[in-house]
Structures are given as structure tokens and as C-alpha cells.
Amino acid sequence: MTTLNFTTTTPLNNIAIIGASGFIGSALTKEALARGLKVRALVSRPERLTASAELEVVGVDVMDSKALTQALQGVDLVISAFSGHAQQDVAGYYQQGFELILTAVKAAAVPRLLVVGGAASLKLADGSMLLDKPDFPAAYLGSAKGAYAALQLLRAEKSLAWSYLSPAAEIFPGDKTGNFRLGADDLLTDAQGKSRISTGDYAVAMLDEAQQPQQLNRRFSVAY
């Protein structure tokens, strides 16, 4: 059995965020900087971000494995907020990109990978997944399938410490409150049957896990 090169006492100072300027990635970047971490933002359009002493902005295409590996050198942890929403074949693009991210993280000898996952593979009360529902929105089907494929790849991973955070069924732009619940593979809903989380609170849950690991090598979820 392969021994992971990671312990829960490993200090966390410098992190890389893939997709740091995106919908969820921007919230992750904001929260990481607020916690005093140095962030290397890996983005396809670096002009969207302003570099600072704490924020290094690197333009990189995840499909360029060599460049991605170089961009990940020297960080303590990678958070992947990669998505393929703008592509024609979203599922195929996402899966190919995520496989290259996995390869690059390991080639750069980064000990941990945290992944912005999807909600579609969360289980309902009858044991089925959200993805299985006949009325699942067609606009999100590609990204849902890609995110589920990424989770399956991680579950087969033997040489890397990873965590995969699924949001609630609805994730919306919003500030952090710090008042949310964590779960595992089941869809979390509130008293009204709604499953919701803000991008701000999602980012808090992810950075909490980054700094104080509790969910190593498994999927967890967050919702109000």
C-alpha cells in the first residue's frame, strides 16, 4: 500500500487555486486571503485578477500538463475550482481537464488536493442520486456528469490525500455567515425541504478543511 506524504500537522502557508476567478473560485480566493494565506491563482484569463503581495496571478491552461505542473511547484495544497461550463462538450472537457490536474498535482509533489465538487451525485432519501432524476436540468447535465466522474477518479486514488466538497443543490452568490451544516453523501435539506448554500459559506467550509483536515480521502457536503 502506498504511504501518503501528508500528515494533519503539515503547515499550510501557500496554496494554489485553479479557476480562482470563477463563480466559486473567486469566493475561495477571497476567503483564503482573508485568512492570511498566500494564494497562487491559476486562471485562463489573468487580466481578471489584480496581483498583490499575497496574490500571485498565473495564466495557465489546464490542458497544458507541463505548464500546469510547473505552476503548481512549491505550494502546500491545491484547490481545484476547475469547470468546463463554457465548452461544447462540458462533461468530456471536465473529465479530461481533471485527469490532467490529478497528474500535475502528483508530478509537482503537492501533498493535498481539495476539489470543488458537484451536488448531482448526492443521494436522495430513496438512495438515488439527484443526477438520476428525470427532470434534472439539461443545462447542468454535462458539468454534473463531469464532476461525478472526478469523484470516482478520486475514490480510486491511492497516492494523494484528497477531499471533495459538494455544495447544496442551490449555490448562490452571497456573503459568509458561518452558520451551516456539514454532511457526507446525502443531500442536506432544511426544514422547508430546500438545499441551499452561499458561495461565501461554501468557501468557509472548504478553507476550514484546508487548514484543519477532517475529511481526508472522502466526499463531504455543505448546506444550511
In this predicted structure, the answer to whether residue 10 has a pLDDT above a threshold of 50 is: yes
Mean pLDDT in residue range 89-117: 96
pLDDT surpassing 60 at residue 185: yes
pLDDT band with cut points at 50, 70 and 90 for residue 1: very low
The reported pLDDT for the residue numbered 9 is 57
* Distance (Å, whole) CA 96 – CA 85: 14
Confidence of residue 47 (pLDDT cuts 50, 70, 90): very high
**Whole-number percent of the chain with pLDDT over 70:** 95
pLDDT of 158 over the 50 cut: yes
pLDDT over 80 (residue 173): yes
- Distance separating the N- and C-terminal Cα atoms of the chain: 38
Contact 3, 25 (CB under 8 A): no
Q: Give the predicted TM-score (pTM) of the model.
A: 0.94
**Per-residue pLDDT averaged across 13-41, rounded?**
97
**Residue 171 pLDDT greater than 60, yes or no:** yes
Domain boundaries along the sequence of the chain: 14-223
Q: Is the pLDDT of residue 156 over 50?
A: yes
Residues 120, 128 contacting (CB under 8 angstroms)? no
Short-list 102, 67, 62, 65, CA closest to 84: 62
Q: Taking all residues of the chain, what is their mean pLDDT, rounded to a whole number? A: 94
Q: Which CATH number fits domain 14-223: 1.20.1260.10, 3.40.50.720, 3.40.50.12780, 3.30.1130.10?
A: 3.40.50.720
pLDDT in the model for residue 84? 74
Nearest to 97 by CA among 107, 87, 109, 112: 87
How do residues 113-132 score in pLDDT, each as one tens digit? 999 999 999 999 999 999 99
Q: What are phi and psi of 171, to 5 degrees?
A: -120, 125
Percent of the chain with pLDDT over 90: 88
Cα torsion through 157, 163, 169, 171, rounded to 10:
-130
